[in-house]
């Protein structure tokens, strides 16, 4: 391919609307153009990357027994109403009506329609297990589309759905997909971690793992252990209670004036007490009921854990000031558990271990000291309700946990019978008895993987593509096309590389060398071959690695085989 014939509209300036590096660089390097908020056109370079990621995904899905299908984007509302998700999915669903006023949606996910297909076609246990997947567009009406391809309203996704006879079979399908995903992201050349995660709106009774590409710009926080394989999203990470070292007997409870002091920071300064000696009290509205939640002052409530503990998913939000005042007789900031009635008190596992703590007094301008759980107030239920922090002990091996930011590019779910029960997906076992199929679902964000690869691999000059998913592996840059010897040598090398089946592009534009070099770095070709008059006089060309920055001078006659060896060892 010749750059003069390819649509690569590079830009020198960073678009004002582009917030993250991947968005900035994909626009500047001519990969994407915005059609509307959260909706993008993929230009030739982006399309090549998408095709490469998709090919890797297909190969790994097929290797595990997956069968590719293509399901409708426009889905009838009736199926979603059967599972109850039509009314609960929320405003992210694009809804529409046809000319007969029948309701449809643009598919944000495909559990319903895949299960409907299977329930109509599968009759016997002999037809199971079944793994069906597709790679196609998904649609979610994000409230605030942002970060380019990281959170758009239209995106490309691979979703696979497994159907098994029993839980053991479902676990085997889960293992297969976990292994396949590990291979997919390894083959894409990414640094990633599978982490324990929360199932969220997809639901199901089983576990779930998210595959996180580690990058400083990641919107998700993860913790992991450097000594064992434990890793988890902070929403899911387990916390071990850390008991206070008791050095004295419980004190008597005392009312202390704390005028205008409403925050943990303010209280620690005013009372000269550590935040770990405070009990933070939060009142939540959980659907139609209120609950009082207690954590140590130096901890944060993990609302995902709280929602799950309360039987979620449910609508969970901090109670209004009016509701707090009606319950406790004071404003937020002076609320505490002592003397409170008519509300369930739920505590994080560390709270019952506290001695001589400080809490709100349920009286404006006052707090209580010498508060001891069990003696001064009764806890209804205890659970792990807080967010883990770096340095805490690993739940598996007790070594300190490390923290990182991650970009979710894939997730594997064990769904159990949530959808098969709602839609009646059953089969007949060996004894002719009707049973529900056990399901799993497995997604990879193809376009998000492309963006995540850039977030993890870039520098001040542009993208640094991993070799397996680069749009082209090699760019040949003749310094001057007016120099016949340079032009001919560059063209011959280009043709030799093509003959070897290598993915090569030649910058045959009548541009200054500096422009060509800047574009090559911006676009991120892994290998740049510069053919210049000076090195050509020595019978050599300059080969530069985009990732390492290392430059080698290689004999012109050996350059093609040299480049072939580099690429073969990098894919």
User: Per-residue pLDDT tens for 67-86?
Assistant: 999 999 999 999 999 999 99
Maximum Cα–Cα distance for the chain, whole Å? Answer: 94
| Cα–Cα distance, 247 to 277 (Å, whole number) | 13
Query: Is residue 204 predicted with pLDDT exceeding 50?
Result: no
Q: Do 254-383 and 472-568 come out as alike in CATH topology?
A: no
Task: Dump pLDDT digits (tens) for 475-501.
Answer: 999 999 999 999 999 999 999 999 999
Task: Identify whether the C-beta of residue 3 lies closer than 8 Å to the C-beta of residue 507.
Answer: yes
pLDDT of 88: 87
Residue of 239, 238, 237 lying closest to 222 (CA atoms)? 237
Q: Is the pLDDT of residue 244 over 80?
A: no
Average pLDDT over residues 111-134: 98
Can you give the residue ranges of every domain in the chain?
Answer: 3-238+403-455, 254-383, 472-568
Span between the terminal Cα atoms of the chain, in Å:
21
* Residues whose CB is less than 8 angstroms from the CB of residue 281 and which lie 6 or more positions away in sequence, other chains included: 292, 293, 294, 335, 336, 337, 359, 360
Residue 551 · residue 542 · CB < 8 Å: yes
> Residue 514: what pLDDT?
96
CA atoms within 13 A on the CB side of 490: 29
Residue 395 CB neighbours (<10 A): 18
Identify the H or E element spanning 161: strand 154-164
CA-closest candidate to residue 80, choices 98, 62, 102: 102
Its pTM surpasses 0.85: yes
Would you state the pLDDT for residue 199?
Answer: 59
Closest CA to 494 of 510, 481, 482, 512: 481
Q: Give the CATH fold of the 3-238+403-455 domain.
A: BirA Bifunctional Protein; domain 2 (3.30.930)
> Cα–Cα distance between 285 and 287 in angstroms, integer?
6
CA distances from 40 to 27, 134, 155, 198, 204 (A): 10, 21, 9, 29, 32
Query: What would the mean pLDDT of 323-335 be, rounded to a whole number?
Result: 94
Residues in the chain: 571
- Beta strand 401-416 with 357-360: parallel, antiparallel or unpaired? unpaired
- Cα torsion for 186, 399, 239, 404, to the nearest 10°? -40
**Rg (the chain; Cα; Å):** 29
Superfamily of domain 254-383: YbaK/aminoacyl-tRNA synthetase-associated domain (3.90.960.10)
Q: How far is CA 293 from the centre of its chain?
A: 28
CATH number for region 472-568? 3.40.50.800
Q: What is the mean pLDDT of residues 427-432?
A: 97
What pLDDT is recorded for position 351? 95
Q: What is the mean pLDDT of residues 525-535?
A: 97
The whole-number pLDDT of residue 247 equals: 57
**Contact assessment for residue 313 and residue 84, using Cβ atoms and an 8 Å cutoff:** no
Residue 208 confidence (pLDDT): 86
pLDDT(348) > 70: yes
CA distance 473 to 305: 45
Return d(Cα 529, Cα 102) in angstroms, integer: 59
Q: What is the mean pLDDT of residues 503-511?
A: 97
The mean pLDDT of 555-568, rounded to a whole number, is 97
Rounded CA gap, 456 and 146, in Å? 18
State the chain's mean pLDDT as an integer. 94
Separation in Å, CA 66 to CA 188, 355, 438: 20, 56, 16
């Amino acid at each position: 391919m010749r750059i003069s014939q390819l649509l690569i509209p590079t830009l020198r300036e960073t678009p004002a609307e582009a917030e993250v590096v991947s968005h900035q660089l994909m626009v500047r390097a001519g990969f994407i153009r915005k059609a509307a908020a959260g909706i993008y056109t993929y230009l030739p370079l982006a399309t090549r990357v998408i095709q490469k990621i998709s090919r890797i995904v297909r190969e790994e899905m097929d290797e595990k027994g997956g069968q590719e299908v293509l399901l409708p984007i426009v889905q009838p509302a009736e199926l979603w109403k059967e599972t109850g998700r039509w009314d609960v999915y929320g405003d992210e669903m694009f809804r529409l009506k046809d000319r007969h006023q029948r309701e449809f949606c643009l598919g944000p996910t495909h559990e319903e329609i895949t299960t409907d297909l299977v329930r109509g076609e599968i009759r016997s246990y002999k037809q199971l297990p079944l793994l069906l997947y597709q790679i196609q567009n998904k649609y979610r009406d994000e409230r605030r589309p942002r970060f380019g391809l990281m959170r758009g309203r239209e995106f490309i996704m691979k979703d696979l759905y497994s159907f098994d006879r029993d839980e053991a079979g479902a676990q085997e399908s889960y293992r297969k997909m976990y292994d396949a995903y590990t291979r997919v992201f390894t083959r894409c050349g990414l640094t990633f971690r599978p982490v324990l995660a929360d199932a969220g709106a997809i639901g199901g009774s089983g576990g779930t793992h998210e595959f996180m590409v580690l990058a400083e710009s990641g919107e998700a926080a993860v913790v992991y252990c450097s000594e064992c394989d434990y890793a988890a999203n902070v929403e899911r990470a387990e916390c071990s209670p850390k008991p206070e070292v008791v050095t004295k007997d419980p004190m008597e409870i005392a009312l202390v004036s704390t005028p205008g002091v409403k925050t943990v920071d303010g209280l620690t300064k005013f009372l000269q007490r550590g935040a770990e000696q405070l009990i933070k009290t939060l009142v939540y509205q959980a659907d139609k009921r209120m609950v009082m939640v207690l954590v140590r002052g130096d901890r944060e409530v993990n609302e995902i854990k709280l929602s799950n503990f309360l039987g979620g998913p449910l609508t969970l939000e901090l109670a209004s000031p009016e509701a707090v005042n009606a319950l406790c007789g004071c404003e937020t900031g002076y609320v505490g558990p002592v003397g409170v009635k008519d509300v369930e008190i739920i505590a994080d596992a560390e709270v019952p271990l506290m001695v001589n703590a400080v809490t709100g007094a349920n009286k404006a301008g006052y707090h209580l000291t010498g508060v001891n759980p069990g003696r001064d107030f009764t806890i209804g239920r205890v659970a792990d309700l807080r967010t883990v922090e770096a340095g805490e002990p690993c739940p598996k091996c007790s070594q300190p946990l490390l923290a990182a930011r991650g970009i979710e590019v894939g997730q594997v779910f064990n769904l159990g019978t949530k959808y098969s029960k709602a839609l009646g997906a059953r089969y007949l076992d060996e004894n002719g008895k009707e049973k529900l199929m056990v399901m799993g679902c497995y997604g990879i964000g193809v376009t998000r993987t492309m963006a995540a690869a850039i977030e993890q691999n870039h520098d001040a000059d542009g993208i640094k593509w991993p070799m397996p998913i680069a749009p082209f592996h090699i760019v040949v840059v003749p310094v001057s096309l007016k120099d016949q010897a340079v032009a001919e040598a560059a063209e011959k090398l280009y043709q030799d590389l093509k003959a070897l089946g290598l993915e090569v592009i030649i910058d045959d534009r009548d541009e200054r060398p500096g422009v060509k070099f800047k574009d090559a770095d911006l676009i991120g070709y892994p290998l740049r071959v510069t053919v210049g008059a000076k090195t050509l006089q020595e019978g050599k060309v300059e080969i530069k690695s985009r990732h390492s920055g290392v430059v080698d001078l290689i004999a012109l006659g050996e350059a093609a085989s040299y480049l072939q060896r580099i690429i073969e060892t990098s894919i």
